[in-house]
């Protein structure tokens, strides 16, 4: 006989009502943020990231800039443009406040998911409060990067998904697909295929009579995401959310060739001349490698070599359309000729995925990290945390070496719940399946299609890893109690 199912997540248990738990968590989060501000932890609002357009274009010509933007998904450009339009010189303060709100979404969504997954109210509160103060949460919360918004969107989407499966509300389904579309419009990892998999799975798990409601909820978000792909195809000949995908593919392929071998392949015509240029190089480094061009049909923001306001390379330059097509062909050639070397790089990349996510930047060891100012205040705490989590039993993976066992056990638990025949239990099971899928998807995409910086990608699903680990531990504890009772 299976264990009695816990109460629904919207009912009080363990002497702690849901509203009280969320109020306690919110108060704790706000108090810790004021303490961090008082300790000198500052928000890094840098606008020279390669995935951003020139700030003046975003402030003064936002619609046009988004329309002609091809290098990366436009979500962060949209957010930046809104911040600059609303706040002007005070945009850094508004961005910091926005990331505070995102932090509140993250911790409160995690608390909801803990309760929805069957954990006790106090366990969920402790887990969410602990996640709010670990170094990687603080570091990414204080850096103007897409990792923190994506984490909030994925968790908010999971909350909506659980509510939708449990209650079959159209609004909950709409929230789930809206969050998924926002993720796809912001982060290149989450491709249109990922969105379609979520849609197909949602249609499969609901009764046939309710599939029309799911389709209706997904219609507008799907059209928005598909519209980005169609726009890029019509303007730039690339059916994708961005054109810099081959750069990531180069990192996991030709970037690993010894320089002498790479140069020999270039001389033999097996690779393009661009293979010798750093993937982080700006358009100026490619000018001499390309024939004269007439790009006058494109707006100026696609033709300037540097973003004028910040004097940084313009990665949305039109010449990257040709460069990245060649880089994609180079990557495919590498995989064809050195498939086992590619697989070895994938394995090394998988190790990097589970390395400390506060040490993702290539300049972390040389003093040029974007986390530098936060590290000056919290560096000792970060080092202690990373030693505790990532040293044993195998560095740099550390405790994450147990994750495969956690995923397998949680899958077993999810299938048991889905097969129980009870709607409440099935909703819990499908929530666990969603979290499993997101964790596996991010880990796989982070090592199959790119290399380096992978540990920061993991942060997007770090709360879900914590959730699944807690569910696994609780399930093992129940099994142990049953065994001791002889049931």
Does 62 score more than 90 pLDDT? yes
Give tens-digit pLDDT for 330-362: 999 999 999 999 999 999 999 999 999 999 988
Mean pLDDT of the residues in the chain: 93
Confidence category of residue 4, pLDDT binned at 50, 70, 90: very low
Q: Which residues of 70-94 are buried (b: 16+ CB within 10 A; e: fewer)?
A: bbbbbbbbbbbbbbbeeeeeebbeb
The dihedral through the CA atoms of 223, 225, 229, 232 has a sign that is positive
Alpha-carbon span 207 to 20, nearest angstrom: 35
Boundaries of domain holding 34: 18-243+355-481
Percent of the chain at pLDDT exceeding 90 = 86
Q: How many residues does the chain have?
A: 487
Confidence category of residue 450, pLDDT binned at 50, 70, 90: confident
Q: Please tell me the least confidently modeled range out of 24-33, 293-302, 315-324, 333-342.
A: 293-302
Please compute the mean of the pLDDT values over residues 208-234 and round it to a whole number.
Answer: 95
Instruction: Indicate whether 109 belongs to any domain.
Output: yes
List of residues 6+ apart from 332 with CB closer than 8 A: none
Instruction: Indicate whether 130 belongs to any domain.
Output: yes
pTM, full prediction = 0.94
Cα distances (Å, whole numbers) of residue 175 to 66, 159, 180, 217, 375: 24, 9, 9, 8, 36
Q: Which helix (H) or strand (E) holds 223?
A: helix 211-236
Does 112 score more than 60 pLDDT? yes
**Are residues 82 and 414 in contact, defined by beta-carbon separation less than 8 angstroms?**
no
Alpha-carbon span 465 to 433, nearest angstrom: 12
Give tens-digit pLDDT for 118-170: 999 999 999 999 999 999 999 999 999 999 999 999 999 999 999 999 988 89
Model pLDDT, residue 442 = 96
Question: How many domains does the chain divide into?
Answer: 1
Name the E strands within 308-398: 312-313
Percent of the chain at pLDDT exceeding 70 = 97
Does 3 score more than 60 pLDDT? no
Give tens-digit pLDDT for 229-268: 999 999 999 999 999 999 999 999 999 999 999 999 999 9
Please compute the mean of the pLDDT values over residues 178-189 and round it to a whole number.
Answer: 96
| DSSP letters for 113-173 | HHHHTT--HHHHHHHHHHHHHSHHHHHHHTB-STHHHHHHHHHHHHHHHHHHHHH--HHHH
* DSSP annotation of 290: S
Number of helical (H) and strand (E) elements in the chain, helices listed first: 20, 2
Confidence category of residue 1, pLDDT binned at 50, 70, 90: very low
Note the Cα 243 to chain centre separation in Å: 18
| More confident site: 406 or 367 | 406
Instruction: Indicate whether 342 belongs to any domain.
Output: no
Alpha-carbon span 43 to 340, nearest angstrom: 43
Give tens-digit pLDDT for 387-425: 999 999 999 999 999 999 999 999 999 999 999 989 999
| More confident site: 294 or 185 | 185
Q: What are phi and psi of 3, to 5 degrees?
A: -65, 150
Does 13 score more than 60 pLDDT? no
Alpha-carbon span 435 to 465, nearest angstrom: 8
**Are residues 93 and 105 in contact, defined by beta-carbon separation less than 8 angstroms?**
no
Instruction: Indicate whether 269 belongs to any domain.
Output: no
Instruction: Indicate whether 369 belongs to any domain.
Output: yes
Instruction: Indicate whether 256 belongs to any domain.
Output: no
Least Cα distance to 54 among 41, 42, 68, 43 occurs for: 68
Instruction: Indicate whether 186 belongs to any domain.
Output: yes
Instruction: Indicate whether 326 belongs to any domain.
Output: no
Cα distances (Å, whole numbers) of residue 366 to 139, 290, 361, 385: 18, 34, 10, 20
* Residue 199, CB-side half-sphere exposure with 13 Å CA sphere: 25
Model pLDDT, residue 452 = 81
Please compute the mean of the pLDDT values over residues 275-300 and round it to a whole number.
Answer: 91
Preceding omega of 39 cis (within 30 degrees of 0): no
């Amino acid at each position: 006989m299976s264990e009695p199912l816990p109460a629904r997540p919207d009912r009080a248990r363990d002497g702690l009502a849901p509203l009280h738990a969320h109020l306690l968590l919110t108060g704790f989060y706000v108090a810790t943020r004021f303490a961090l501000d008082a300790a000198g932890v500052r928000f890094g609002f840098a606008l020279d990231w390669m995935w951003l357009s020139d700030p003046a274009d975003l402030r003064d010509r936002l619609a046009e800039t988004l329309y002609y933007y091809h290098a990366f998904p436009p979500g962060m450009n949209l957010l930046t443009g809104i911040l600059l339009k609303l706040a002007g010189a005070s945009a850094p303060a508004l961005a910091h406040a926005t990331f505070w709100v995102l932090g509140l979404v993250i911790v409160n969504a995690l608390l909801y998911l803990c309760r929805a997954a069957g954990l006790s109210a106090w366990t969920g509160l402790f887990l969410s409060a602990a996640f709010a103060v670990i170094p990687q949460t603080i570091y990414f919360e204080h850096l103007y990067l897409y990792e923190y918004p994506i984490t909030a969107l994925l968790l908010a989407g999971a909350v909506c998904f659980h509510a939708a499966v449990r209650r079959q509300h159209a609004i909950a389904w709409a929230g789930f697909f809206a969050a998924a579309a926002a993720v796809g419009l912001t982060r290149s990892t989450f491709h249109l295929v990922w969105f379609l998999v979520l849609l197909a799975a949602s249609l499969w798990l609901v009764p046939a009579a309710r599939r029309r409601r799911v389709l209706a909820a997904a219609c507008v978000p799907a059209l928005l995401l598909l519209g980005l792909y169609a726009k890029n195809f019509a303007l730039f000949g690339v059916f994708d959310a961005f054109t810099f995908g081959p750069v990531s593919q180069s990192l996991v392929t030709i970037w690993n060739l010894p320089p002498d071998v790479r140069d020999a392949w270039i001389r033999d015509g097996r690779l393009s001349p661009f293979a010798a240029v750093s993937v982080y190089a700006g358009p100026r480094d490619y000018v001499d490698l390309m024939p004269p061009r007439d790009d006058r049909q494109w707006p100026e923001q696609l033709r300037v070599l540097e973003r004028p306001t910040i004097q940084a390379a313009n990665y949305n330059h039109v010449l990257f359309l040709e460069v990245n097509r060649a880089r994609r062909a180079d990557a495919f050639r590498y995989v064809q000729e050195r498939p086992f070397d590619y697989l070895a790089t994938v394995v090394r990349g998988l190790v990097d995925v589970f390395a400390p996510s506060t040490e993702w930047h290539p300049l972390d060891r040389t003093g040029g990290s974007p986390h530098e100012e936060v590290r000056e205040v919290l560096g000792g705490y970060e080092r202690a945390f990373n030693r505790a989590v990532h040293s044993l039993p195998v560095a740099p993976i550390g405790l994450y070496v147990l994750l495969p066992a956690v995923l397998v056990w949680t899958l077993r638990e999810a299938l048991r719940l889905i097969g129980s025949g009870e709607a409440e239990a099935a909703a819990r099971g499908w929530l666990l399946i969603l979290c499993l899928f997101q964790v596996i998807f991010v880990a796989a995409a982070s090592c199959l299609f790119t290399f380096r910086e992978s540990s920061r990608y993991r942060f997007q699903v770090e709360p879900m890893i914590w959730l699944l680990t807690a569910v696994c531990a609780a399930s093992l504890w129940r099994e142990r109690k049953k065994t001791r009772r002889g049931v």
